[in-house]
Amino acid sequence: MAEENFRINKYIAQTGFCSRRKADELIEAGKVRLNGKVVTDFSTTVGKKDKITINGKPISNVREYTYIRYYKPAGYITTKSDEKGRKTIYDILPPEVQNLKPVGRLDKASTGLLIMTDDGELINKMTHPSVKIPKIYRVCVKGKIEQNDLIRWAKGIEIEKGKIAYAEAEVIDIEDGNTVLTVVLRQGMNRQIRKMADAIGHPVISLKRTHHGSIDLLGLQKGAFKYLKPSQVKELKNYIKKIEKEAQKRQSL
């Protein structure tokens, strides 16, 4: 099979170094070299064995990954197939993103943000329990929650035998006698918020994930997706590195 080549601006963007527009600016400024020679032609193509430097510094040769943010609707589970015959997100996702895997899951009744990609390394980093990438949710629970309940959440609640769950939560509104919360999770236990809410006697009415790491739901309609821009991918990877460093510091104390 012949090696796949890309226009040099697209290739630079796929490494996460910068956007295609910025890559064009760098080429125009004579700051991009391909195999030691200054690139002057914007139509220059690059293979994965070629060496690119920008301002004298090499950029990584990487395969082309796809990243999207998807607004999951209620009524679908986050898996490729289901032995019980339940509807999955892949029943409604279009063909061009059917190969992507979700970064974590949302249960059937929950809605909101799913990052999806074929970048296995990013999935592993974002879901590894030692890194604790924060996820933010808007949650409506039955009844009026007291501050003591939120303190219990912060200190930790046993939701299953031997499993202690933690969450940071803040009341943002009271609607028809029910409480609307912003909840931040750094763990990834199954149905964690729902089990924590049940444990304090305030079951979840609705749950929507609004943020995961540096990515949010802004501009997305329910059931729709958008490709992440190179700048968003770069920002996310830098965010993960920051969280990883913080985790390493905690472990060294």
How far is Cα 46 from Cα 42, in angstroms, rounded to an integer?
11
- Identify the segments of the chain with pLDDT beneath 70: 1-4, 16, 61-63, 253
* Residue-level pLDDT at 1: 31
Same domain, 96 and 191: yes
Three-class SS state of 100: coil
107 catalytic, yes or no? yes
Task: Return the H-helix or E-strand segment holding 10.
Answer: helix 8-14
Say how many domains are in the chain.
2
* Residue-level pLDDT at 4: 60
* Pair of tokens at residue 49: 């064995």
Which tens digit of pLDDT belongs to each residue from 118-138? 888 889 889 988 888 999 999
Residue 205 resides in a domain: yes
Same domain, 108 and 154: yes
Which amino acid appears at position 63 of this protein? Answer: R
* Residues 5/10/13/18 CA torsion (nearest 10 deg): 140
Same domain, 191 and 155: yes
The residue from 107, 118, 198, 216 that is catalytic is: 107
* Residue-level pLDDT at 253: 63
3-state SS track over 115-151 = EEECCHHHHHHHHCCCCCCCEEEEEEECCCCCHHHHH
* Residue-level pLDDT at 185: 95
Residue 240 resides in a domain: no
* Residue-level pLDDT at 124: 86
Same domain, 190 and 107: yes
Residue numbers of the domain that contains 107: 67-226
Residue 248 resides in a domain: no
Same domain, 21 and 129: no
Please report how many Cα atoms fall inside a 13 Å half-sphere around the Cα of residue 246, on the Cβ side: 10
